[in-house]
Structure 1
Amino acid sequence: MRSTPYLALSASALLGCVEDLNLPKPRIHDNPVLLWVSETPDFPTCPGGRLDYWDGWTDVHTDPQYQNECGTCTCGPAACALPDRMLVHEAPLCAGEEGIKIDLTSAADPPGHCVELSSPIPGDAFAAVTLKPPTMASKCDASEQHAPPPLSGTYARACPWIGKYTGKFDGSVCIAPDDDGSCPLGFSARFEFQEKIRDARTCTPCECGAPVGGSCVADVLLFSGASCSHMLHPGNGIGTREQLCYETLEDFPLTGVRVVFAQDEPGTCSPTTPVSLVDGTIESGETRTFCCSSADLMEVIDANDDN
């Protein structure tokens, strides 16, 4: 959006009498610039790919209704997890703490698929198994981390003047004001911007309370045949606070395991902080004044210079 006003004289009228006009030109010692102004921070690329530009803004603010808030805090579920291991005991009644550990971490991806043992456990070494319970996550994660509310204002980019106006850059030619602060004839469009340092605002994190409710119940299915055939024990209904011991009554090897959910109802959490708040400020630098000419007038200057 162009906010610099055009002069009333049209380019065609000026071209007819350009030699009779005392057309102003940027004073070289003022480091003239091409000034882009917009209500959106979509800064353009400077002509010639110049990187020594200056960015500024003015009247930067947020909607008063939301200036101190980033958003409402919500919490995700406390997920259920299938048992990640079991122990195979050679002695009955799961006696002693020692046993052959069977890793079941892969049983959850996807749930219910056959976990075949790389080395089947023979029947004479398989008297009982300790079935570990499923678990529920001890906490809930905040479902969203918010960003600060968007800014509104007027934005500017001052690019080095490359000696002539370029129509590909939607801006005006500007110089510094006179010593008394006034703008000279032909550069009477006056703008003031503060240097744009950075938006240093962040949002306070959302936090969640302890999980409540939910139900995690697993079935651990044991098999003695290839590809999880010939079920030995269904292991049904193992809750989160249970650790079951199952004794084998037949002399069969253990060759595979399936683990599935009988109930998968995650717990829920309430946010301990209902709202994420804005923390930090917008950082601005010194104010800079620009005295600007219309693009139409500078096009006439360039055309005259070419002749």
Structure 2
Amino acid sequence: MESKTRTSSMKFTVVAATIMTVMVVVPACGEGRIEVIVPDAGSDAGDKGGGGGIGGAGGASSNNACTPACDGECAPLPPPGFSHPFLFAQGSQPIACPDSANLTETTRFAELVIPPAQCAECTCAPSTGECTQPTTITAHAADCNHTEGAIATPTNPPASWNGACAADNALAGGITCAGKACVQSITVGPMGKAKEACSAHASSTVGEFIPSPSWKTYATACQGMARGTCDAALCVPGRTAEFQLCVEREGIHDCPSDGYTKQFVVYDGFKDDRACEPCSCGAPEGSFCQAWLTVYANGACTSPVVAGNVWSGGNTCLDVTPPGAAVGSKLALEPTYNAGTCKPSGGTLSGEVALTSSHTVCCVA
């Protein structure tokens, strides 16, 4: 019984050893398969590592299979401060990203076209305004040619006089000043002007026109993923007929002297704050007021002594004949406003078109 037991045990051991030899397995790189490796006949096949066995020459071949070649393009490493490499194309319209690099798509712009702008010509209408009556009326003891230094006697109208008949500050007839008749001439002070202005107008023949700028060039940047590895380079989606291999950096910078050497500058957009200055008018020039004024001997404005046209441009002197007459009242007719002109301003273009957010793109030449 003991002898049989030993014999059976030895046979079992041999079978087990054979099974262990046949079932040596290794994983195939990157594909999730299991390969069964069967050694060549001979007792030392596994020991010498022949024909792809574990630990043999087949091990180096297996390691190479674990680092597949880049299925896109091996891009130079970006210089410091620049982005990861991407595909870049420019055209008169946006260009769709290739399927290999369609994870992100960014559109920027170059060559902004700014059409000329024009503003309407500004003009000013004749001025409008109001007139006020003189505030001073003075008698002089000399004729109009010699009033300087002569004795003056005020005979002013009431405050805020509207020209109606007024007997304020009357002077009796025949009064003398230093032996001379006090009333030999009447000097009327200037009229006043009020609420003067010119209305501004923009020309209807040359209207305001500020066309919006437009981009001549659209720049498309595309990011994607490629599989595999490169020696001292980055595996990225490969270039196409339209797309270049590039890196970018915000702002305007020089490109490196090797690798990414071809420079493009693109922008996120623009800001247009141009506008036409509104039309306006300066102060009126050349306008004046005038009215007909009469001085009367009595207080009822019925016995005229002297009359004349007074205005806003300065004093008006009227000689009294005969000298020494009474100044009992005064009356002024409705004044007339004579329009002047105003100098126009405005109608000029202000502001500018400014590019926003520049980016330097450097591409492989």
Q: Which TM-score tier does this pair reach, normalised by the shorter chain?
A: 0.3 to 0.5
Name the TM-score, length of structure 1 as normaliser.
0.38
Report which of the two structures shows the higher radius of gyration computed on alpha carbons: 2
Name the TM-score, length of structure 2 as normaliser.
0.33
Q: Which has the higher contact order (CA 8 A, sep 6+)?
A: 1
